[in-house]
A and B are shown apart, each in its own frame.
Chain A
């Protein structure tokens, strides 16, 4: 028997791994994948809560989050393609045009 606590701790660790990726990554695509990991951790926690309190509302919210994640992936990756076309780099440290 797995208590809901175990699922929540798994979600917390996965979120931490994703946050670590966002903080340390220099590559735009890896940064993007880390954001996907964090979204999945949030989904995992929502579904664990839905299971714990025995209602499906949490699952409905996860369905909406999945849709938003798909939209985010499409826009984010087309932005990466545009950045590569214009600046010829995916190193986030080089994308400092707006830095004062």
Chain B
């Protein structure tokens, strides 16, 4: 097999990339200066060699513990549980959460063969039960069916610990338009309404 064919085959294994796109990317790289291809290859190698799961929260990171777990200014008594490392970035961009995280590494999905044993639950239960002062666990799994059932399961397994378990709210997006929102979202927004005195 030629080197071109090798690269096309490897690229076409990536999600969302078919054979034609893989061919296009291959020929694009061949037309670039050799340094461009080297940098890409080095970056791929480095990410595999250096990135690992944080031993505390499970987030993918260069350092263990990660920058959030090792930051003394973060509140260790509030833990936000998310499905994937990318979700941490989304919440951090909002700039309002000052607690710490726990990354499950997925969500319950029977159809995909993902059960509780595939999630990083023992770490979470250990953090809640090790006397480190966790007062609240915020479940921030996605509002999909699998995310909701994962939240239900987490609530069950955390209940015996006595820790406060909360779920992120669902509702209308900022800048959204009621006229274009679907009925389910509007119903959820109405259910999660709150007194205006609480609003900031």
Q: Verify that A and B bind, or say they do not.
A: no
Query: Which A residues lie at the B interface, using CB under 8 A?
Result: none
B residues contacting A by CB (< 8 A) are none
